[in-house]
A = this chain, B = another copy of it.
Amino acid sequence: MQERTVFFISDGTGITAGSLGKLLEHFPNTHFKQVRMPFTDTLDKIQHAQEVILQATEQSGSRPVVVMTLGNIELRNALKESNAYFIDLFNTFIDPLSIELDQKPLRGAGIAHSVMGSSYNDRMEAINFTLNHDDGMTHAGLEQAEVILIGVSRCGKTPTSVYLAMQYGVKAANYPLIPEDFERGTLPSVLHKHLNKIFGLTIKAERLHSVRTERRADSFYASLENCRNEITTAERLMREAGIPWADSTSRSIEELSTIILEKIRHPA
């Protein structure tokens, strides 16, 4: 397999540059060694970066890919003296966008991920809300939730809720469906008045069995038969209540969150 080093070099956190690293998944036949170099905001640090780029070239035999966001033009030009394949987000996006908007961009370091960013406080508030409303911990304040995820234990409610809060500032509560609900045959009564913001997660029985076995091997809770029964009943309850749901078995929390937001914010 081909090897390439990819550097994400930024005068700030390098998170925006790094997020483009996801696009490397389009090239499964190359093994990418990803190296983030944040806070590269002086000529000394640029020189250090150049040395590391040279080392990587010598070790792997091919020039590295460098994804860069450097506001300072002098630093940017200095870095580009290295032999690498450069993806320069200022050149590619910010400068052309500046022409389109007829507006000079801010060039300071760390603009993109500062606490001054437009939605930062909303996101922090949502994370607190979500952690305080994990796993049906409290009924208080459910009316403030934008989304309430429901589903059987270990179907992926918690990481999906946390992602919704952290990434989108969505106050996402989650509420487990448990044996008492299945015996009674109805959704927990506390949920009845929130039906329009409930979204269900479900999962394949084999997958749930394996996830629960990691937690409590050889228990009734983890048995394939119990997993099957819980899932069948949970899906029936959701269907009867008209609640939309998605299967988490082969979907990432990013994909689930996108589906959930589309459904809750733009119901068909």
A12 to B105, CA, bound (A): 30
Cβ proximity bits A3-39 to B, threshold 8 Å, 1 near / 0 not: 0100000001111100110110111111000001011
Q: Does any Cβ of B come within 8 Å of A112's Cβ?
A: yes
Q: How far is the CB of A249 from chain B (nearest CB, A)?
A: 9
Would you call A26 and B111 a contact (CB within 8 A)? yes
A100 to B253, CA, bound (A): 32
Chain B residues, Cβ within 8 Å of A14: 258
Chain B residues, Cβ within 8 Å of A4: 101
Chain B residues, Cβ within 8 Å of A162: 127, 131, 162, 166
Would you call B250 and A93 a contact (CB within 8 A)? no
A43 to B117, CA, bound (A): 35
Instruction: Indicate which residue in B39, B98, B163, B252 contacts A115 across the interface (CB closer than 8 Å).
Output: B252
Q: How far is the CB of A6 from chain B (nearest CB, A)?
A: 10
Would you call A22 and B87 a contact (CB within 8 A)? no
Q: Does any Cβ of B come within 8 Å of A224's Cβ?
A: no
Instruction: Indicate which residue in B20, B89, B101, B262 contacts A2 across the interface (CB closer than 8 Å).
Output: B101
A123 to B184, CA, bound (A): 36
Q: Does any Cβ of B come within 8 Å of A229's Cβ?
A: no
Interface magnitude class on chain A:
35 or more
Would you call B254 and A25 a contact (CB within 8 A)? no
Would you call B254 and A13 a contact (CB within 8 A)? yes
Instruction: Indicate which residue in B36, B113, B131 contacts A255 across the interface (CB closer than 8 Å).
Output: B113
Instruction: Indicate which residue in B20, B29, B131, B167 contacts A158 across the interface (CB closer than 8 Å).
Output: B131
Chain B residues, Cβ within 8 Å of A124: 159, 253
Q: Does any Cβ of B come within 8 Å of A145's Cβ?
A: no
A54 to B106, CA, bound (A): 29
Instruction: Indicate which residue in B38, B101, B107 contacts A262 across the interface (CB closer than 8 Å).
Output: B38
Cβ proximity bits A109-120 to B, threshold 8 Å, 1 near / 0 not: 011111101101
Instruction: Indicate which residue in B39, B85, B89, B103 contacts A100 across the interface (CB closer than 8 Å).
Output: B85
A13-B254, A16-B20 given. 12 additional CB < 8 A pairs?
Answer: A12-B255, A13-B258, A16-B23, A22-B117, A23-B69, A26-B112, A28-B106, A87-B97, A110-B255, A113-B254, A115-B252, A166-B166
Q: Closest 8 A-B residue pairs measured CB to CB? A: A19-B19, A113-B254, A22-B112, A26-B105, A13-B258, A115-B252, A38-B258, A16-B22
